[in-house]
Structure 1
Amino acid sequence: MNDTHVTVVGNVADSPRRVSLRSGTVTNFRLASTARRFDAQTQQFVDASTFWVDVECWNDLSGNVSGSVSKGDPVIVQGMLSTHSWEGENGRRSTPRIRALAVGHNLARGTGVFRRTRAVRPAEPGAAGDGAPTDGGALPGEVEDLVPGRDYEVDPETLYGADTHDLTAEPAHV
């Protein structure tokens, strides 16, 4: 296969839109990734060109993105790049599109809290299934309880807030 896998770092440019279709649920949003460069004349970093791309997230990722990502959030998107084409009133049009495999907040720009979700396992053939999980797990879309020994957080006291008052700002990457 000749899929073009990409990772794009940028900001969510519009509110994510979630739609249910026969083939599953999809959440779409527009991503803006603006390059920065150092201007030797002004001795400052300045914005260069902006890459605009549509992002589509399917099924479980769709629900997680629509519940976690908002307009303006700094994110990292990893997925397969393609070109979406259509016939418009001014002729043939096209735009780049990423079918996301993973979307996450850019923790270089802020902090985050992760809540694990777990899907329900399919019922065994012949088992009485009412759609409720049989293993004590969460229903789809619900937050799963943390399990000591498997998760990093045992209790809230194990996590410490960042004390940034004495840190110097890192220069932007060129």
Structure 2
Amino acid sequence: MNDIYITLTGNVATEPRQHHFPDGARVTTMRVATASRYFDRRSQEWRSSGTTFFTVRSFRSLGDNVAQSVRLGQPVVVHGRLRIRQYQHEEETRFVAEVEASSVGHDLRWGIGSYMRPHRDERSDHLPAGRPVWAGGDPLDGGGGLASPDSAEPDSSKEVDREGGVEGKISSGSSGSQVGIIEFRAAGEAAETDVPPGRRGAGEMLGDDRAA
């Protein structure tokens, strides 16, 4: 069977959570919201045709890096293998779109990133802890104008698909592997013609008055 690979851009809708398993395997899970927008020339306004949520799973060292680098509300680019998972909820069959990521990064259209690669003998618990510094404030109160990400999928903390469906222990933050840290800072003022409402740019996503 042929695999389907996709590239999506959007905002992180849930804080990344890293799951550890008894055999040492690990996976980081987060939700990414993508909004389909178009410019209505008749009304001269940006309009939305809806928001789609994807569950993004990052394995091994990529998952370590995502857990250290990515935070709620940040704009990201994700490339990976698409699959549609079926599950039961209150006797109802539902479907959720998942991406097994091969690459994850910040969308530099909306901000500035700084990359750091540790030495081989360094462990992630020696790396700087805490959230990156954002210009204009921290968007962790659900910034980005996103709808609720929980409406399309059950709580992933109860069961994690680890290429075998093993339930694991959840931890937030670092693991014991080598990681690369990306500190993302929001860029300055963005032109209104470049930033459709809902597809938040730097100032809008952070509640910066300059973006009004």
Q: Distance in 2 between matches of 1:117 and 1:94?
A: 39
Superposed, 1:142-161 pairs within 5 Å as none
Q: Distance in 1 between matches of 2:34 and 2:9?
A: 6
**Structure 1: which 5+ residue stretches go unaligned?**
119-136, 144-162
Q: Distance in 1 between matches of 2:40 and 2:63?
A: 39
Query: Given the superposition, is the C-alpha separation of residues 110 and 93 from structure 1 closer, same or farther in structure 2, using an over 3 Å criterion?
Result: same
Superposed, 1:1-174 pairs within 5 Å as 2-21=2-21, 22=23, 24-117=25-118, 137-141=120-124, 171-172=194-195
Partner in structure 2 of residue 158 of structure 1: none
How many residues align structurally?
Answer: 135
Rg larger in 1 or in 2?
Answer: 1
With the length of structure 1 as denominator, give the TM-score of the two structures: 0.68
Query: Given the superposition, is the C-alpha separation of residues 170 and 111 from structure 1 closer, same or farther in structure 2, using an over 3 Å criterion?
Result: farther
Q: Percent identity?
A: 30
Query: Given the superposition, is the C-alpha separation of residues 43 and 54 from structure 1 closer, same or farther in structure 2, using an over 3 Å criterion?
Result: same
Q: Distance in 2 between matches of 1:87 and 1:98?
A: 20
1:42 is displaced (CA, Å) by 1.9
The C-alpha deviation readout for 1:30-83, integer Å capped at 9, x for no partner, is: 110001101122212222221111111111011110111111000000000001
Q: Distance in 1 between matches of 2:97 and 2:191?
A: 37
Q: Distance in 2 between matches of 1:62 and 1:8?
A: 17
Read off the aligned partner of 1:171 and give its amino acid letter: D
**Structure 2: which 5+ residue stretches go unaligned?**
128-186, 197-212
Q: Distance in 2 between matches of 1:169 and 1:93?
A: 38
**RMSD of Structure 2 on Structure 1 (CA):** 2.4
Q: Higher relative CO (CA 8 A, sep ≥ 6), structure 1 or 2? A: 2
1:139 is displaced (CA, Å) by 2.8
User: CA contact under 8 A between 1:27 and 1:62: conserved in structure 2?
Assistant: yes
User: CA contact under 8 A between 1:45 and 1:172: conserved in structure 2?
Assistant: no
Higher helix share: 2
Partner in structure 2 of residue 149 of structure 1: none
Q: Secondary structure of the equivalent of 2:82?
A: strand
